[in-house]
Amino acid sequence: MIIVMKKNAAEQEINAVAEKLQEKGFKVHLSEGVERTIIGAIGERTQAIMEYFMRQPGVEKVIPILQPFKMASREFKPEPTTVKVGDKIIGDGSLTIIAGPCAVEGREKLMEVALAVKEAGADMLRGGAFKPRTSPYSFQGLEREGLEILAEARKVTGLPVVTEVMDPRMIEVVSEYADILQVGARNMQNFFLLRELGKAGKPVLLKRGPSSTIEEWIMAAEYIISSGNEQVIMCERGIRTFEKYTRNTLDLSAVPLIKQLTHLPVIVDPSHGTGKWELVEPMAVAAVGAGSDGIMVEVHQNPSEALSDGPQSLMPDNFESLVTKVRAIHEALQNI
């Protein structure tokens, strides 16, 4: 890190900072400029160390030089991490399509949509069993019954199942039923949950928080990896901006950035990313163009009757069209 001293910092303040840096194990380089002294400090910096030096007398600011994440970084592990689920590998250059309803609404309805997405070409099935929503007056999910229905759908269709886990207490039960544990956008910085997912022994699909920087998102992955689980799949699903036509602003530049900064696979959810079903197909194609390892979309056989997220859900025939397009684009990119 770099410590910039105030213009009028006294020599003894500069020396005191330099000494404290050495005490804490840093190698110190002093640069006296025309306007002020700058101290380069080489060593392992943490947020706490930075804050410590920010408050030393004579210090103007502390600038971090290196990224705060380690085990998630591509520098730490240059070869890409792949996640194998059933006979599908996420992150190996292939394209994984995850589809299903926002919430599991009942046995028959889920079976119908699960068969439909399988028929249309999905690789995995998604569906929420726990659905706490912004309003306390909305449908909150079928809970454990929903998990059982998902497991049955997996048996019938052969599609691996992705479902959300919202609370550390649920990891065990959800792990019994699901192939991939999803961390929802609102839980991206639920550090208790992240730490326990590090010990869960199942792949984790980590959604980006709607107001999280890419750095914070990678730090959330770092929590899981440093707790023992490298099987993390990043999922871009839009960030909150001032634009109102869309529910969120899908940040597709996150796709090449995650590939550049980390060794983790990354997929895109254009359903939450836009909030409008008409935009799901073009943004799914765009995501594949940006280099995404997969897409996750909401499909419902009758979106107008969906208990949640109807406006952003595709009908099975729209989904089939989407699958055709994204597979064609993926193949065209592979062949260049």
Distance (Å, rounded) from C-alpha 22 to C-alpha 12?
15
Q: Select from 13, 70, 23 the least CA-distant residue to 49.
A: 23
Binding-site member from 12, 15, 75, 172 for a second copy (CB under 8 A): 75
Find all residues with CB under 8 Å of 25, minimum gap 6, and list them: 43, 44
Binding segment for a second copy among 25-33, 117-125, 152-160, 173-181 (CB under 8 A)? 25-33
From the CB of 97, what's the least distance to a second copy, in Å? 15
Binding segment for a second copy among 87-95, 115-123, 146-154, 253-261 (CB under 8 A)? 253-261
Interacting positions 102-141 with a second copy (CB under 8 A): 132-139
Total interface residues for a second copy by CB under 8 A: 107
Strand blocks (E) in 179-268: 180-183, 204-207, 232-236, 266-268
Q: Which is nearer to a second copy, 7 or 87 (CB)?
A: 7
Distance (Å, rounded) from C-alpha 236 to C-alpha 253?
10
Binding segment for a second copy among 82-90, 143-151, 154-162, 182-190 (CB under 8 A)? 182-190
Binding-site member from 200, 239, 264, 266 for a second copy (CB under 8 A): 239
Distance (Å, rounded) from C-alpha 300 to C-alpha 309?
9
Cβ atoms < 10 Å from Cβ of 208: 28
From the CB of 247, what's the least distance to a second copy, in Å? 10
From the CB of 84, what's the least distance to a second copy, in Å? 25
From the CB of 75, what's the least distance to a second copy, in Å? 6
Interacting positions 294-333 with a second copy (CB under 8 A): 303-311, 324-325, 328-329, 331-333
Strands of the sheet containing 2-5, edge to edge, are 27-32, 37-42, 2-5, 59-63
By CB under 8 A, tell whether 23 contacts a second copy. Answer: no
What are φ and ψ of residue 81, in 5° steps? -80, 135
By CB under 8 A, tell whether 175 contacts a second copy. Answer: no
Q: Which is nearer to a second copy, 112 or 216 (CB)?
A: 216
Cβ atoms < 10 Å from Cβ of 142: 23
By CB under 8 A, tell whether 257 contacts a second copy. Answer: yes
Cβ atoms < 10 Å from Cβ of 157: 19
Would you call 267 helix, strand, or coil by DSSP? Answer: strand
Binding segment for a second copy among 80-88, 149-157, 175-183, 217-225 (CB under 8 A)? 217-225
Q: Which is nearer to a second copy, 79 or 134 (CB)?
A: 134
Distance of CA 216 to the CA centre of its chain: 10
By CB under 8 A, tell whether 246 contacts a second copy. Answer: yes
Residue 61 tokens, joined: 């600011």
From the CB of 151, what's the least distance to a second copy, in Å? 23
Interacting positions 41-60 with a second copy (CB under 8 A): 42, 46-48, 51-56
